[in-house]
Amino acid sequence: MKTDRRKVVLIGTGMVGMSYAYSMLNQNTCDELVLIDLDRRRAEGEAMDLNHGLAFSGSHMRIYAGAYADCRDADVVAICAGVAQKPGETRLNLLKRNKEVFRSIVGPVTESGFNGIFLVATNPVDVMTRVTYELSGFNARRVLGTGTALDTARLRYLLGEYLHVDPRNIHAYVMGEHGDSEFVPWSQAMIATRPIRDIVEETENPVQMEELDRISEEVRGAAYRIIEAKHATYYGIGMAMTRITKAILGDENSVLTVSALLCGEYGQNGVFAGAPCIINQDGVQRVLKLTLSEEELQKLDQSCGILREHYQGLE
Ligand code: NAD
């Protein structure tokens, strides 16, 4: 991968895609940003709008509405395109329609000669990442989804509020499906190097396990509550995508909970699910193997079982 001129192609310039683009512009994440959408005029309008903000940013980014041929020399192709659920439509039917959307995207991207990293945000993200992997024929390490990156950020924020600790000093992860079966392995949650569970067990400690469970419940339901209030979620996921993109373009070896293909880790095989991974310019350098308890392994197994079922429903 070339790191001299960092190039990102964004496919799907809706709310999520443009939150990602806006956040990348403000954080000077890449040098060239190409916008692609089924609605070409929308992509053009978005490119104009962002370009008019360039003078106020610290970035020299080249931004334009492009075509699939522009993926040829890109470092990252990010997919945020998707169709919305119709009233009364089943989840499986939505999945089937999104698979068709991805067929119309991933084929032209790979035909362009693209040789970088796929980053997928479209929901259900773990299944759509697996669809991208299957359609592209890429090495699994070069196909990743946003997974539980956003859920993990929400968890760290809420724990920080509850424990009165800077979220950056809280090391805790959400694992499994980005969805209802996700879970927090509390055995692996730390403030600095101190296990949060030890703090809970201290006598006369105001930190309660019930409160921690309430927090994990709040993380699981966060998207529902935001959607109830404002119909969609996009800023948080846009920033999570920017963080992952920076880790790739900067060859950072950062730990992020992306959706990656599990190949024996945690006893799981052939499924894309959220797990802490080391991310660098090659994509998923490796999946980190945390020492989960038996109960946590069972939760992950259940979550992966659900993801397998969803994928098999598509076949
Ligand atoms: P949106 O409707 O605003 O945007 C979708 C865009 O995709 C539209 O601009 C549309 O024209 C485009 N599109 C549709 N079919 C296309 C095709 N074949 N080729 C190119 N472009 C195409 O939706 P949004 O709010 O931006 O959400 C996008 C996706 O992100 C949804 O699937 C949503 O569920 C998901 N999402 C994921 C997370 C996460 O944590 N992973 C969080 C929030 C939203």
Domain region containing 193? 149-314
C-beta separation of 276 from 244 below 8 A: no
309 and 183 housed in the same domain: yes
C-beta separation of 300 from 175 below 8 A: yes
Is the pLDDT at 279 greater than 60? The verdict is: yes
157 and 186 housed in the same domain: yes
127 CB near ligand 1 (under 6 Å): no
Q: What band does 224 get if pLDDT is binned at 50, 70 and 90? A: confident
Q: Whose CA is nearest to atom 4 of ligand 1?
A: 14
Of 112, 145, 178, the residue that ends a domain is 145
Q: Is position 270 within any domain?
A: yes
Is the pLDDT at 90 greater than 60? The verdict is: yes
Closest approach atom of ligand 1 to CA 128: 32
Residue with tokens 């106020």: 56
Looking only at the bridges linking them, the beta strands covering 7-11 and 32-36 are parallel
The pLDDT value recorded for residue 204 is 67
Domains in the chain: how many in total? 2
190 and 297 housed in the same domain: yes
Name the amino acid, one letter, at 295: E
Identify which of 182, 76, 73 has the alpha carbon closest to the alpha carbon of residue 119. Answer: 76
What's the rounded Cα separation, in Å, for the pair 188 and 133? 29
Closest approach atom of ligand 1 to CA 151: 40
Sign of CA dihedral 110, 43, 76, 300: negative
226 and 264 housed in the same domain: yes
Strands laid side by side in the 32-36 sheet: 62-65, 32-36, 7-11, 76-79, 117-120, 143-145, 254-263, 269-280, 283-287
Mean pLDDT, rounded, for 150-178: 95
Is the pLDDT at 199 greater than 90? The verdict is: no
Is the pLDDT at 205 greater than 90? The verdict is: no
131 and 160 housed in the same domain: no
What's the rounded Cα separation, in Å, for the pair 112 and 133? 16
300 and 177 housed in the same domain: yes
- What percentage of residues in the chain have a pLDDT greater than 90? 84
Question: Could you tell me which residue, 268 or 200, shows the higher pLDDT?
Answer: 268
Q: Whose CA is nearest to atom 9 of ligand 1?
A: 14
Is the pLDDT at 176 greater than 90? The verdict is: yes
216 strand-pairing partners: none
238 and 181 housed in the same domain: yes
125 and 141 housed in the same domain: yes
276 and 289 housed in the same domain: yes
What's the rounded Cα separation, in Å, for the pair 171 and 157? 11
Q: Is position 173 within any domain?
A: yes
The pLDDT value recorded for residue 89 is 78
Q: Is position 2 within any domain?
A: no
140 and 156 housed in the same domain: no
131 and 66 housed in the same domain: yes
Is the pLDDT at 127 greater than 90? The verdict is: yes
Q: Is position 1 within any domain?
A: no
Closest approach atom of ligand 1 to CA 232: 25
Is the pLDDT at 203 greater than 70? The verdict is: no
Is the pLDDT at 1 greater than 70? The verdict is: no
Sign of CA dihedral 193, 237, 50, 82: positive
Q: Is position 70 within any domain?
A: yes
The pLDDT value recorded for residue 312 is 93
Is the pLDDT at 3 greater than 60? The verdict is: no
Q: What band does 59 get if pLDDT is binned at 50, 70 and 90? A: confident
302 CB near ligand 1 (under 6 Å): no
CATH number for the domain spanning 15: value is: 3.40.50.720
Mean pLDDT, rounded, for 279-286: 98
Q: Is position 37 within any domain?
A: yes
146 CB near ligand 1 (under 6 Å): yes
Of 145, 173, 207, the residue that ends a domain is 145
109 and 164 housed in the same domain: no
Mean pLDDT of the chain: 94
Of 145, 176, 210, the residue that ends a domain is 145
Q: Is position 12 within any domain?
A: yes
Q: Is position 42 within any domain?
A: yes
Q: What band does 151 get if pLDDT is binned at 50, 70 and 90? A: very high
Q: What band does 22 get if pLDDT is binned at 50, 70 and 90? A: very high
Catalytic residue positions?
A: 178
Residue with tokens 């000093």: 169
Q: What separation in Å is there between the alpha carbon of 57 and the centre of ligand 1?
A: 26
The pLDDT value recorded for residue 314 is 87
